[in-house]
Amino acid sequence: MHTIERRTPALPYRRPSGSRKRFCTVALGFPFLLATLGVAAQPANPTYDPIVDAVVARYQLPGIAVGVIENGQVVYAATRGETVAESGQPVTPETLFKIASNSKAMTTALLGHLVDAGRLSWDDPVTKYLPDLRMSDPWVTKNMRVADLLTHSSGLPEGGGDLMLWPEPNAFTRADIIHGLRYIKPGYSFRSQYQYDNLLYVVAGEVAAAAGGAPYETLMHREVFEPLGLSRCQVGTWGRDAVGNVAQPHYRKDGRNLVMREDGPTIPAITSDPAGGIRCDLTDMLSWAKNWLVPTPTQLQWLSSTQRQVLQSPHMLIPVSNQRRTWDHSHVMAYGYGWRMADVDGQWVVWHTGTLGGMYSMLALLPDRKSGFVFMINGEAEDARTVLGEVLTKHFTAPGDGRGVTWYADALDHEAAQRPAAARPPDTSAATTVKPGAFAWSGRYRDPWFGQITLCPRGDTVQWASLKSPHMHGTVRQLGKRYLVHWDDPAVDLDAWLDPHAGSPPTLTMAKLDPLGDFSSDYEDLHFERIGGCP
């Protein structure tokens, strides 16, 4: 639920259920914005409005901002819904959204800018800038290049260590991540395959800071936002009310969109900023996209054609899913530096998506056509993102395809319905709360990278609590012969199996109840040992 990026695109997603809800709609025709972007004001667009409206209606989205570029010109920019559901505060082109993993391309652009300036090289060893870095294998530590931080091929298991990033806020620092990496067991051989991770983009941000001589957030503002005129984009610490017009994330419950983890007056810098902590509005995201599609001479001075090609060239192959082969006729899919890429209906598409607990985004570029699109959603929208991204892509790659929002949405629903029982979460309605006297595994436990937890009585329950991640707090239950942890806040994380193991000392392992659940809930990478009794 919290991950910056959940899984490889074009896999079946679950669609939130619930009754249809009324939306505040803002059909973008703001003359000042469209004039800035070089677009004639239009009250409605017969090509794109029906697509956006159909997605909003199908998935009852709280809010969305969508922009389309054709042949280097913004031809469509529209918003729907509200920054906070039922607030009456409309989403506008200046509404800030969490762009989540679309931040990665901004981080790699910062690195490319530093390469152009001679401050670092892609082939530099990471330890040149971060001498304390250690991976589990000393050979990998020695041979880890800056480039290796960016291609999801380091050997880290999918989402490995993400529980140091989410749920937020927590007390894990970037130094904790650099130290903790040495304890995360690899899931595969170095540089042998693609497995999405977020931690190494946090490390990449620290490399940028070391090479650039300033904190990551300072560099991002100074070296990326300011030169490109991204005046609304935010990262680091900033004031919610001073900046204003900030969309809040939502989840679906009982047919309603409800705010989750609402921002306070001060938005703090977070450990995950380089991997996915940036927020931008539609206006700035369209400017960011145009910078890649039709860069100006000034922008080419900011980042050279050489580095642009490096960032958006294939560096690590990604397996092509059956769905992508069927829907898009793709033969090759790869990861660059902060970008994915594939052939879609015979055309080259470069894109990325972002997911961060109630916020979804997608930015797609068709470089050969100087065209693309971007959208941001402030609700639980896995299927909505897949469907909208597919329909907008097909507008360019297969305009006669004839399959619209309804076809793709129904196809995802059908695939979800075919999910085998073994790949579904168990029914936990019969689970019972464990009484302290019936639980033999109470105590304090420690995992070498996640740190300390307590598994201790509280009243008539046994509570699981993390020292460094205070929002990870839940009640131990029993289902059949197995224990599970039910988190107090359903917006915090996926419920988890809890498996005690006898020994000296006793140990605990964990696993997701939903076998196909969010990989950032990487319980499988935890191995707790008992270090003492309950306080």
pLDDT, tens digit, 9 for 90 and up, residues 398-451: 999 999 999 999 999 999 999 898 889 999 999 999 999 999 999 999 999 999
> What residues does 69 pair with on adjacent strands?
74, 372
Query: Do residues 518 and 3 make contact, with C-beta atoms less than 8 angstroms apart?
Result: yes
Q: Which pLDDT belongs to residue 38? A: 37
Distance between CA 516 and CA 111 in Å, rounded? 33
d(CA 385, CA 515): 22
Looking at the domain assignment, is residue 457 inside a domain? Answer: yes
Share of the chain above pLDDT 70, in %: 92
Residue 499 covered by a domain: yes
At 297, give phi and psi (nearest 5°): -55, -40
Residue 377 belongs to a domain: no
Q: Report percent pLDDT > 90 for the chain.
A: 88
Residue 178 lies in a domain: no
Quick count: other Cβ atoms within 10 Å of Cβ 455? Answer: 23
User: Does the structure show a pLDDT above 70 at 6?
Assistant: no
pLDDT averaged over every residue in the chain: 92
Under the banding of pLDDT at 50, 70 and 90, the label for residue 69 is: very high
Residue 15 has pLDDT above 60, yes or no: no
Least confident interval from 20-29, 78-87, 484-493: 20-29
Number of domains in the chain: 1
Expressed as residue numbers, the domain containing 504 is 432-532
- The answer as to whether 417 is a domain residue is no
| Spacing of C-alpha 526 from chain mean position | 21
What's the pLDDT at 156? Answer: 98
pTM of the model: 0.92
Query: Does residue 192 belong to any structural domain of this protein?
Result: no
pLDDT tens-digit series, residues 353-403: 999 989 999 999 999 999 999 999 999 999 999 999 999 999 999 999 999
For 294-342, the pLDDT digits (tens) are: 999 999 999 999 999 999 999 999 999 999 999 999 999 999 999 999 9
For 383-404, the DSSP string reads HHHHHHHHHHHHHHH-TT----
Residue 489 inside a domain? The answer is: yes
526 occurs within a structural domain: yes
Q: Place 168 in a pLDDT band, splitting at 50, 70 and 90.
A: confident
Average pLDDT over residues 2-11: 39
At residue 17, the pLDDT reads: 30
